[in-house]
Structure 1
Amino acid sequence: MRLLNTTTLQFAEYYNQDTPEYAILSHRWLDGQEVSYIDYCLCVDQAQHGEKLPEYLRDKANTIRSRSGFTKILDFCKAVRLADLEWGWIDTCCIDKSSSAELTEAINSMWSWYKESVLCLVYFNDVESEASYAEIGSSAWFTRGWTLQELLAPSRLNFFDRVWKPLYRLEKATFKAKKRTATMYYIMDDPDWAEFGHMLAQASHVPARYVCGYQSLDSASAAMKLSWASFRRTSRVEDRAYSLLGLLGINMPLLYGEGQQAFIRLQKEFIQTYDDESILAWRSPCPSPNLSSHCFSGVLATNLEFFQASGDIVTIMQYGKPPWQTINQLLQVEAAVYVQSANEAPTTTILLPLACKHSDERGCLHLELTASSSAGAGVGHYMRVSACKLIAAGPQRKVTDDRRLLLHLNAR
């Protein structure tokens, strides 16, 4: 991990147990203004060697120093020193993005780096001093994909307005302590910090119990976590998936250029790693009235937005249930299923129960499946049908014995 000394403004690299206490920055990138690792190193060379550098490099370094991103680095270092910390980490200049190996390691480690930080400084570059709760909640910071993990992973966060004036301080509940309490401090004179906590939850689409650390993120279902991310955007399509690696507890290689396939790979990796069937509890947009609602799809979501209505889905414990297995582009499932008769659906379909449900309902959710008619599909191969809905099975439907199903992960 490459850290920045906030006094000398020099880099140092640390590994595992040798890493000192550090603060970390959460912010929104601005096009053309951020300072990369190579940019920053050039500025350091200019400071150390001055006139020895060629003129064109001195001019380039001066241009870099004029960017708002360079000023942000200096302001961050000042705020870290005021917090009595020596080291800081910033995702713009502390990663050499010209190295694909370093970038992959950094993105796969990002969640743990934010979690292990002593303090996270959240910088709202679009929030004025004395802003109202509503104005803070409308910051673009809440719309960016990467800032979701930056809100949830750290245990301590300090929030700043655009001129680095402190706003609030959040210290989350710690789950190692017996007394599970969280405190939110307002730096200014308004004691009603609870309203700020409510704003954080509302603006981030994350329940306050997770934002403030009252409840472990491990208790949130995959569908719930993906719903939080579904309202956010990233500059690159792939980063919508890559920014979720830590939140979902997944490691996988980065393949920039793969587009939406990154999200498919993320779901496949999750299924192979965890027994959380809510990963299939998504809904696609309802088709136009002139189109049939019985369109076929794979069981994996092709778009993160399909989880926007999954924010209240919780998992159900089911003991003795055989684990899922992925076989090439198929998901092997063994389960008792419900059978719908022909008069209940245009074709005979089955309902596969998932070990998850809406939090305010008792019964589990089901996927509606139909036998695959794709070329090369064998007996027992199924596709999802009516992907715009999840179904609660009624008692009038016939239940079969355990059946082995091969579900197509992608539409064919």
Structure 2
Amino acid sequence: MADLKHKILMVSDFFYPNFGGVENHIYYLSQCLLKLGHKVVVLTHAYGNRSGVRYMTGGLKVYYVPWRPFLMQNTFPTIYGTFPIIRTILLREKISLVHGHQAFSTLCHETLMHARTMGYKVVFTDHSLYGFADVGSIHMNKVLQFTLADVTRAICVSHTSKENTVLRSGLPPEKVFVIPNAVDTAMFKPAQQRLGRDEIVIVVISRLVYRKGADLLVEVIPEVCRLYPNVRFIVGGDGPKRVRLEEMREKHSLQDRVEMLGAVPHASVSSLTEAFCIAILEAASCGLLTVSTRVLPDDMIVLAEPDPSDMVHAIRKAISILPNIDPQVMHDRMKRLYNWNDVAERTEIVYNRALKCSDQSLLERLSRYLSCGAWAGKLFCLVMIIDFLIWRLLELLQPAEDIEEVPDVALRCHQHGERIEEIYRCKSE
């Protein structure tokens, strides 16, 4: 068997059985990297009774460490409390590179910090957009600045996301690569039977809050229904703006044309992100025309400004070109444009460049943290010096050579096409 190229540790607080864009991204990217011959291990926190080591499709090994989520599926920030178990996993799995996901993940930030202290190359993927003025964004941006001060390479899922990340963290743009999300076109296919030309259904899936444009729907829906008697709306989601939508439906007597689904289980809808909307890709893969911001080619999406009149105009344009849309042709284009295998190959290039970067001493690394601000820089340096001392203490208490390395059993089974359920039989052989 050929030598493996990389042994990658994917890290995030967000992974299955939780459902979302980050979770899907980590899973599909890991599966494609396994097919390319790499070893991939996922590190996340426990979810309910799911704790310990689990194996998923393709031999993907997942560590559900016994920490419980503290806020919005994030573990409580301990800074140093996670170091011993993270060090053990890195050594046991013979990891060569660490890949962290999502700026809001506490586990991601702490693992990248400890990995750099131990001399590992680290890559970070930012999946979201954040502002600059509110208290939450200011706090998150300072944490991101600390983490990315010593990151080897970074990945963003769109060019807008790259600009946002560079501005928030001060990371040199040449260190940041843009690799878009993709879609599993095998799951999202055009319907075998289309609705008749005499009926048009517009679906809205979103949290019904101001930031998601719920107030625009209150003005857009009545106007579209007035212009097109054959149009009906299906609105999925819940939030504080749901009351306004229901009031609008009553006021204009649209009960039979506007269906309010309320909160919809994650498993029943497509996933959403801020920096790169996977839901748009999934809709296009199903052959559905989309009205949104610029993500897809112009003939697959109709652009609109966040203004009621402009959105009505965009919907009218979409309805006019709808008869010319071939769902199967759109599906085939999506299969070529947004493919997880392509994402994995481009990510592999980033890994290769990261591993070619020269190693740096503690003093060289501290100079990067020092440049983060007059007071913040000194605080960051102190945090990293303590982290370095803890690492040396752990080396004394339990030398690296005393930690048993794990055989790559799951990967061998995967490469021989054997079922994961037969992993122990494979191990005994």
TM-score normalised according to structure 2 size: 0.26
Give the structure with the higher percent strand. Answer: 1
Determine which structure has greater relative contact order: mean sequence separation of CA pairs < 8 Å that are 6+ residues apart, divided by chain length: 2
